[in-house]
Amino acid sequence: MKAIVTLNAGSSSIKFALYELSGDSLRFDAGGKIEEIGTAPRLRARNADGDILERNWPHDGALSHEHLLEDLFAWAATQLGDREIIAIGHRIVHGGPYFAAPRLLDDALLDALDTLIPLAPLHQPHNLAAVRALRALAPDLPQIACFDTAFHHDLPALATRLPLPRAFHDQGVRRYGFHGLSYEHIAERLREADPDRVGGRVIAAHLGNGASMCAIRAGKSVDTTMGFTALDGLMMGTRSGALDPGVILHLQTQLRMSAQEVETLLYKKSGLLGVSGLSSDMRSLHTSDAPQAAEAIDLFVRHAARQAAALIPALGGLDGMVFTAGIGENDPVIRARICESLSWLGLALDAEANGRNASIISAQGSKVLVRVIPTDEEAVIARHVVNLIKFEGSHSP
């Protein structure tokens, strides 16, 4: 039996999944993630029956990504049975202006993707390090890049432009958009649910540790809240989201913070964590009595609603809203509060349906159909891998 592996290697976690390939169809077989890399790494995985498989590393947090990947593969080998891994698909955060379609990762592509590291300093290096680590372990195994920017590749020109002198745009300082694999999955689900209109004019809200929104019209991205980097837009777990650029000037010129310190502040110490002073995790904040926790949640909701409203001009109205990712799929309180702030657009929720994370949570008569759709970036990657292998196969001599 052939199998495909997907990998999403981040700074503090590595997510993975294994799919069995039979003919053209993929079947989820097992998946999970290594969390808390750098502090106390631990593997949690489940097989298709939902059985939990776990692995704790007895040592300290100093194990490198490479070491953990090697260990993950050794562990996976014991689980494979008669399955043979024929390709690995990677989530690669940045494809820059040129790369959109999934591509086989060779030396030339890796070199080109290295040049995009400054545009995604916290994600791209880990994505590429995982590719290189696996090449060393299994040099003949095809590895395929699937880009998180790809779904936004054909954004209308205006949505890609920053209000800076033109020369910067030509040098690549422009808006790209991220979370594209997640939005691609949402657009596919909407196409199934509403084949004629793909949901019409929709805002998809990916609310996880990273958070963004995408304006989708007729199945295509027409605007999105993350821009040049994955720092823009919504307030997130540890990232600031959109910020007065004057603040950054102040931090550097008046407070004498180095570029490195500003980067760490904006990516790792801001957002829910920074405002609450307690945690970047929405669940923890809900359980806290501290007023700072409540204020962090209030600000998250305020910024989410503000960013959603800012997408309306690109859509010219709103027919649907979709919530996805950790918070979007599981947190009725946050969904209700964001929808309440947007009620002037015609959103009304059914409290009972919202409370049980139903697939449609809007009330009958709501002008905007509100859905909860679990994201599945791994399935999108696996499907791309299969399509690419088929395409390459049909073009080989």
User: Binding residues for ligand ADP, per CB under 6 A?
Assistant: 208-210, 237, 281-283, 325-327, 330-331
Under DSSP, the state recorded for 12 is S
Residue 381 annotated in ligand binding:
no
The sign of the torsion formed by the CA atoms of 246, 247, 248, 254 equals positive
Q: Contact 9/127 with Cβ under 8 angstroms?
A: yes
Shortest Cβ distance from residue 325 to ligand ADP (Å)? 4
Residue 53 Cβ, how far from ligand ADP at the closest point, in Å? 19
60 classed as catalytic: no
Give the three-class secondary structure for 272.
helix
- Which CB atom, from 151 or from 318, has the smaller least distance to ligand ADP? 151
DSSP state of 75: H
- Let me know: does 393 contact 109? Beta carbons within 8 Å: no
Least distance to ligand ADP from the beta carbon of 327, Å?
4
Give the separation between CA 314 and CA 312, rounded to whole angstroms.
5
- Kindly list the strands in the beta sheet with 320-324, ordered across the sheet, starting from the edge strand earlier in the chain: 220-224, 211-217, 201-207, 320-324, 369-372
Q: Minimal distance in Å, beta carbon 51 to ligand ADP?
A: 21
| 377 marked among binding-site residues | yes
- 330 annotated to a ligand binding site: yes
Strand-pair category, 211-217 with 52-56: unpaired
CB closer to ligand ADP, 127 vs 160? 127
Q: Which is nearer to ligand ADP, 20 or 329 (CB)?
A: 329
Q: Do the annotations mark residue 210 as ligand-binding?
A: yes
Number of residues that make up the chain: 397
Is 213 assigned a ligand-binding role in the annotation?
Answer: no
Closer residue to ligand ADP (CB): 160 or 240: 240
What is the closest distance, in whole angstroms, from the C-beta atom of residue 156 to ligand ADP in the complex?
27
Q: Return the bridge partners of 213, or none.
A: 205
Measured between alpha carbons, how far is residue 337 from residues 234, 305, 312 in Å?
15, 9, 18
| Helices 291-315 & 332-341 angle (0-180, nearest 10) | 50
Residue 35 is assigned to a ligand binding site: no
Closer Cβ to ligand ADP, 207 or 215, answer by number? 207
Determine which helix (DSSP H) or strand (DSSP E) holds 118, and give its type and residue range.
none
In whole angstroms, the minimum distance from the beta carbon of 321 to ligand ADP comes to 18
114-to-100, 106, 131, 179, 350 alpha-carbon distances in Å: 16, 12, 12, 20, 47
Helices 124-137/65-79 angle, 10° precision: 50
Any binding-site annotation on 8?
A: yes
Among 29, 148, 232, 376, which one carries the catalytic annotation? 148
Nearer to ligand ADP, 160 or 182 (CB): 182
In angstroms, what is the minimal distance from the CB of 19 to ligand ADP? 19
- Select the residue whose beta carbon is closest to ligand ADP and give its number: 326
> Does 354 belong to an annotated binding site?
no
Is 327 annotated to bind a ligand? Reply is yes
What are the strands of the beta sheet with 14-22, ordered from one edge? 52-56, 42-47, 25-35, 14-22, 2-9, 84-92, 143-147, 103-104
CB 204 within 8 A of CB 216: yes
Nearer Cβ to ligand ADP (21/321): 321
CB atoms within 10 A of CB 237: 22
As annotated, the binding site for Mg(2+) includes 8, 377
The residues carrying an active-site annotation are: 148
As annotated, the binding site for ATP includes 15, 206-210, 281-283, 326-330
As annotated, the binding site for substrate includes 91
As annotated, the binding site includes 8, 15, 91, 206-210, 281-283, 326-330, 377
